[in-house]
Structure 1
């Protein structure tokens, strides 16, 4: 074999090992000849642009998965990403997810990763950077049945004893527990609650939660007073300041706003002190289940659905016709707490309701 032939063979072997085919070389040559330069941004270039125009809630929910997406396929142009790339990122998110006692094998993380990448490519399609979303071609995993449920009265009592008698700030923890058990709020509802979101006249709190939703939830006068007293004693004065706060440190007038870390610590302590809670993986979301279940037992499905802030129809046409009114939710909260509420409907002597 001549020297030129040996050189050519070595080059072909090198290209083959790099996964470059003759067709790839021809396409690259054609592009160079035409002077065409791709204007489609890479994943790493486009993700920050999407993050900039999405809400804080969306960024908080999907930020971790966007970082993973950039780390794994960030150098690819948006038009180069294939469904298999989406599947690989989602599988990695599943494998890296924190495994908890009541976990479901990382299915939630895998599902969230796919949702996060669908958001990116929805913007890419809308901006005509790609023709279709490769993320839509990757199905979300089937959800496993949740083990969460409402707690029994005895279980709530045990949790209350642990929360109110231990830790470095039982006052804060007890108020959080009361808040979750009475409002059925998600974590975001507590973390995002500001002084301006407490309406004393209508005896309600405004909850900002998943999907950038917000709703006004009736609460008892006892809880309302406790929330305002807590915020005041810990230095909150401005309407935009958070209600739930840590104790102020020495020499500081205002305590820091509550963070998710506190809720995680609270769950860890409950699970450590109560073996059954540890086995089940009881967390603040269990208190939401408890509250919604209590309202359903009192007032039925439609009122419980409104109380929980659920809006998805799930293909059930009946849900379109059974939307509960604000007064009905207040009536149910009144029954649950044993305290009168200004928005509750009161029965007239002849049985009608005002």
Structure 2
């Protein structure tokens, strides 16, 4: 046949395809180049996501590479993913806070969804053929974390200040999280340039690329500045550092909480971690100053919440957060009412 097909010929071709249950998209898919392998595509996605996302998903992408490195993304099914989930759960490293592997399963599925979402956007995989989107995440269990009592906080602070190879650093870490209710990532990302000495504020950058100014006590601000001076943190570099000037990493937190658990039986058995300090501070703020102030203290925004649209109109001010901090620490704050 020469030349462009006539309308009658096109209509006849469509009729045949309809009777066969084949669409034009199916024909295009049949001649499309195969999707890349996991080994080829995971580095592409890892380079495109944020540091926080990369840090969260890399362990699970590595698990995928262990099993599927040379397999094409288009050759996996929802059942394949479910089998991999069960394999990960069966071979899970048991830690203090392990809960039947549900968290690992949730993160694995989220890591694969991220991978396939990029593949769909890059037109390497058809959206209807995305296997990760068809695998449900396990139901998230209620958290076992809770606010620590005053007695438990005293015991914790005593252990931190009297054990380990750098009690000064560890005590600063605990004080920072207790006052700010910051997540680990917020403390690790803190830089000397993020300190406002005059107003006793620190600029926190946390998960989801969120950021905020958070009040701290004059005492904590003084210790942070002393830490910068004595350990040589550059203005644009990480603030928290070892005695030899190296910036700390997540490993410092792991070692810190392992040591706490070895010295305090209740902390070891319950898997106490940095996030328990966040629970402790925010619970106290909520009880004393109400939900709006606790929400602002935590740095929660007004999106993706089940708290209702009322939060748009009852947001607490920075001055109210500073007032709550002043009551918590017993120190005057420049911004407190």
Same fold (TM over 0.5): yes
**1:36 & 1:125 partners in 2: Cα distance?**
17
Residue 217 of structure 1 aligns to a residue in which SS?
Answer: strand
- Displacement of 1:234 in angstroms is 1.2
**2:294 & 2:64 partners in 1: Cα distance?**
38
Deviations 1:7-50 (A, max 9, x none): xxxxxxxxxxxxxxxxxxxxxxxxxxxx9572422222111111
Q: Note if contact 2:34-2:74 (Cα within 8 Å) is conserved in structure 1.
A: no
Question: Which among 113, 135, 142 is matched to residue 132 of structure 2?
Answer: 135
Question: Which among 304, 307, 325 is matched to residue 316 of structure 1?
Answer: 307
Give the structure 2 partner of residue 51 of structure 1. 46
Q: Note if contact 1:149-1:290 (Cα within 8 Å) is conserved in structure 2.
A: yes
Residues 69 and 326 of structure 1, relative CA distance in 2, 3 Å threshold: same
**1:161 & 1:280 partners in 2: Cα distance?**
18
- Superposition pairs for residues 1-354 of structure 1, below 5 Å? 36=31, 38-132=33-127, 133-236=130-233, 238-248=234-244, 255-311=245-301, 312-317=303-308, 318-344=310-336, 346=337
**1:296 & 1:315 partners in 2: Cα distance?**
17
Deviations 1:310-339 (A, max 9, x none): 235333323343322222212211221122
Residues 87 and 217 of structure 1, relative CA distance in 2, 3 Å threshold: same
Residues 273 and 208 of structure 1, relative CA distance in 2, 3 Å threshold: same
Give the structure 2 partner of residue 10 of structure 1. none
Two-structure CA RMSD over aligned residues (Å): 1.8
Q: Note if contact 1:68-1:89 (Cα within 8 Å) is conserved in structure 2.
A: no
- Displacement of 1:268 in angstroms is 1.0
TM, length-normalised to structure 1: 0.81
Residue 68 of structure 1 aligns to a residue in which SS?
Answer: helix
Q: For structure 2, list consecutive stretches of 5 or more residues without a partner in the other structure.
A: 1-29
Select between 68-77 and 187-196 the one with higher mean Cα deviation: 68-77
Q: Note if contact 2:145-2:279 (Cα within 8 Å) is conserved in structure 1.
A: yes
Residue 216 of structure 1 aligns to a residue in which SS?
Answer: strand
- Displacement of 1:95 in angstroms is 3.1
Deviations 1:142-199 (A, max 9, x none): 1122111111001000111111111111111111111111111111111111111112
- Displacement of 1:104 in angstroms is 1.3
Q: For structure 1, list consecutive stretches of 5 or more residues without a partner in the other structure.
A: 1-34, 249-254, 347-354
TM, length-normalised to structure 2: 0.85
Q: Note if contact 1:50-1:123 (Cα within 8 Å) is conserved in structure 2.
A: yes
**1:113 & 1:40 partners in 2: Cα distance?**
21
Residues 102 and 48 of structure 1, relative CA distance in 2, 3 Å threshold: closer
